[in-house]
Chain A
Amino acid sequence: MEDIKDKNNFLRIFYTYRPVLLVLPALILFIIFFIIPVLSMFVLAFDKPVTGVLDLQGEWTLKSFLRIYNRSLYFNAAVTSVSLAALASLITLIIGYPLAYLIAKTENVTRNTFLMILVLCAMQLDMVIRLFGLMVLMGDNGLINGALMYFNIIEKPIGLMYNKLGVLVGLVQFSLPFMVLSLIGIIRGISPAVVEASRSLGATPNQAFWKIIIPLSMPGILAGTLLVFAISISSYIVPALMGGWKVMVMPLHVYQQIAEMGKWQFGSAIAVVLFCTSLLSVIVYQRVAIRIGGGRA
């Protein structure tokens, strides 16, 4: 008798909470392989730094973080990371806005879809392949230098990559699609009536653009800029190839400390700094995105 009651109870609970089973596989995967690993990385970052095999010392310390702050090598890498990502955001905004505006205002479905496919292909194509093209273009023996020398404009190659300029161009190429996609929705959402109203009140097209369209695009501009900042500062492959390990940024140090030097604690600490910088811009991004999407972002 007791048994049956227990069983019924169990079944009732099972049926009440059955929908949870839907999310359980994904949730378990994320808890074990996302939350716990990230937390262990945080723990390791605050552990006493040693060199060699991965081994938790069990001593809480801020040594690794102080080292990042005090050693100019690492501090400068953080500054370079932030400044390159900030510059990349600004440049992608200036370059991406016109394209986003064009796509948003293209009402012909075929043309619109065609432009969207171009942007999406550029975004989804493996970054290493895109960098291959960029390196053939910008290298010392590359197409730009080749063409300039062919027409006798320059005598010897000018350094277009393996420096900050190269990394910046790479970051812009990398993040431009993200900026364009962040802007399209918001530009399309601007009511033509508002622009018309300003025009009928005597605004020139230029004035209407700068005083009406740009301010109304602001949420998209903010969201796009923050998103591009977050993904640019996280990129390993762009500075590794376009900078040729001469422009040291945080992701390169993370890899070097772990894979080449076996400094697990210190590498984790740099990763934590990178993680938090990126997280901060993502949190602000989500605040902005929620405001755009009316809570559905």
Chain B
Amino acid sequence: MSKAKIKEVNELGTLVKIGSGIALAILLIPVFIVVLTGLNSGDHLTFPPEGISLRWIFAFFKSEEFLSAFLFSFGLALITMTLSTIFGTLAAIFITRFSFPGSQLLRALFLSPLILPGIVLGLALYIFYVSTDIGLARSYPGMVIAHMLVTMPYVIGTVSASLFNFDLNLEQAARSLGASPLTAFRKVTLPNISNGVMAGSVFAFIVSFGQFDVSLFMATPNNTPLPIALYWSLRYTFEPTAAAAGIFAIALVVISMLITSKLVNLQKFSGVKFD
């Protein structure tokens, strides 16, 4: 680091630090409040807080409403993650390996569920399910499909970034030494991109687990993901049991992001992909 730059950072430093502090506060205070609410001993979180207890955590384990929604979301996220990782990885290999007219368009198509309104996507699917009457409306498979659409962009983005960074000559060397295309891919390419694939699947899991928008039109009393269950309870009251459920969701997100940070270089993360 040059001297001029050090000076620059120092002088602007205070302002940047204050601004960053505000931004981090806005990001993190709501999360801390959820943890505090779930661990407080009173019926509500008040100012000043009353005390700490695990009663709401135990209440969560006994709660029909939130525990079943939590487990439902967990199972849904696992299935979504598995399918999205398979579909998305294969598609990413195709998109990065073969250039053809319209390949950019295909890429844009696969990434588009990420930024298009989730509620509109949910509605479009719901209309499609209801009007075709193929038994997907308000069904579990119907919800898995909706979740696959919103999680695949993360897998495709992350996997194609790791494929970009992979030296294709290595695979060609394996081929020239007599490996079949599949063997070369399995033994040479896959181990090299496996971190990207795993990071993509962690993202798919966590995006599905926290998904609200596309689930809204799909949920039924039997198929209620955690975000929907929390939403319905939050419209009427602040249940500390819901906050206790939130604590476990927060733990899940933190663990997922720690895993991701071990798998890929977070310094190069830019929204959907690492490069």
Residue of B nearest to A181 (CB): B271
A121 CB to closest chain B CB (Å) equals: 5
Report the Cα distance A223→B89, complex, angstroms.
Answer: 27
How many residue pairs at the A-B interface have CB separations less than 8 Å?
Answer: 307
**A40 contacts partner chain B, Cβ-Cβ < 8 Å:** yes
Chain A contact residues: helix, strand, loop or mixed = helix
Contact between chains at A241 and B235 (CB < 8 Å): yes
Whether the pair A135, B210 counts as a contact (CB closer than 8 A) is: no
**How many whole Å from A289's CB to the nearest CB in chain B?**
9
CB of B232, distance to nearest CB on chain A (Å)? 10
* A52–chain B nearest beta-carbon distance, Å: 13
Q: Is the beta-carbon distance between A40 and B131 smaller than 8 angstroms?
A: yes
Q: Is the CB of A192 within 8 A of B5?
A: yes
Check if A196 sits within 8 Å of B4, measured CB to CB. yes
Looking at A3-11, A22-30, A68-76, the stretch in contact with chain B turns out to be A22-30
- A120 near B266: Cβ-Cβ < 8 Å: yes
Most interface-central of A99, A132, A136, A206 (chain B CB within 10 A) = A132
| A134-B30 contact, Cβ under 8 Å, with A102-B20, A121-B254, A199-B8 | yes
Across-interface contacts of B81 in A (CB, < 8 A): none
Q: B173 on the interface (CB 8 Å rule)? A: no
Looking at the assembled complex, report how far the CB atom of A106 sits from the nearest CB atom of chain B, in whole angstroms.
9
Residue from B91, B269, B275 in contact with A181 in the complex, judged by beta carbons closer than 8 Å: B269
Are A19 and B97 touching (Cβ within 8 A)?
yes
Task: Give the distance in Å from the alpha carbon of A267 to the alpha carbon of B127 in the complex.
Answer: 11
Which of A54, A130, A237 lies in contact with B231, CB distance below 8 A? A237
Docked CA distance A33–B124 (Å): 9
Give min CB distance, B150 to chain A, whole Å.
10
A122 to B267, CA, bound (A): 17
Question: A20 interface residue, CB < 8 Å from B?
Answer: yes
Distance to closest chain B CB from A269 (angstroms): 11
Q: Are the CB atoms of A102 and B115 closer together than 8 Å?
A: no
Determine if B197 is an interface residue (Cβ-Cβ < 8 Å).
Answer: no
Q: In the complex, what residues of B have CB within 8 A of residue A216's CB?
A: none
Cα separation A241 to B275 with both chains bound (whole Å): 36
Contacts of B232-269 to chain A: CB distance below 8 A: 234-235, 238, 242-243, 246, 249-250, 253-254, 256-258, 260-261, 266-267, 269
By a CB distance below 8 angstroms, the chain B residues around A36 are 128
Known: A118-B24, A173-B26. A237 touches B266 (CB 8 A): no
- Among B20, B47, B119, the residue within 8 A (CB) of A99 is B20
User: Which chain A residue shows the least CB distance to B9?
Assistant: A105
**CA gap between A282 and B119 in the complex, in Å:** 16
Q: Tell yes or no: B31 within 8 A of A by CB.
A: yes
Shortest CB-to-CB span from B34 to chain A, Å, is 4
A56 CB–B CB distance under 8 Å: yes
Please choose the segment from B54-62, B105-113, B188-196 that sits at the chain A interface, where 4 or more of its residues have CB less than 8 A away.
Answer: B105-113
From B16, B32, B212, B267, contact of A101 by CB (8 A): B16
Residues of A within 8 A of B97 (CB): 19
What are 5 of the A-B contact pairs (CB < 8 Å)?
A121-B257, A129-B230, A136-B33, A251-B119, A259-B217
Q: Which residues from chain B sit less than 8 Å from chain A, CB to CB?
A: 1-2, 4-5, 7-9, 11-12, 15-20, 22-24, 26-34, 37, 44-48, 86-88, 90-91, 93-95, 97-98, 106, 108-110, 112-113, 115-121, 123-128, 130-131, 145-146, 148-149, 152, 156, 164, 203, 206-207, 209-210, 212-213, 216-217, 226-227, 230-231, 234-235, 238, 242-243, 246, 249-250, 253-254, 256-258, 260-261, 266-267, 269-271, 275
A contact residues vs B (CB 8 Å cutoff)? 19-20, 22-23, 25-27, 29-30, 33-38, 40-41, 44, 54, 56, 95-99, 101-102, 105, 107, 109, 112-113, 116-122, 124-137, 139, 141, 143, 146-147, 150, 172-173, 176-178, 180-182, 184-185, 192, 195-196, 199-200, 205-206, 208-209, 227, 230-231, 233-234, 236-237, 240-241, 251, 254-255, 258-259, 264, 267-268, 271, 274-275, 278-279, 282, 285-286, 296
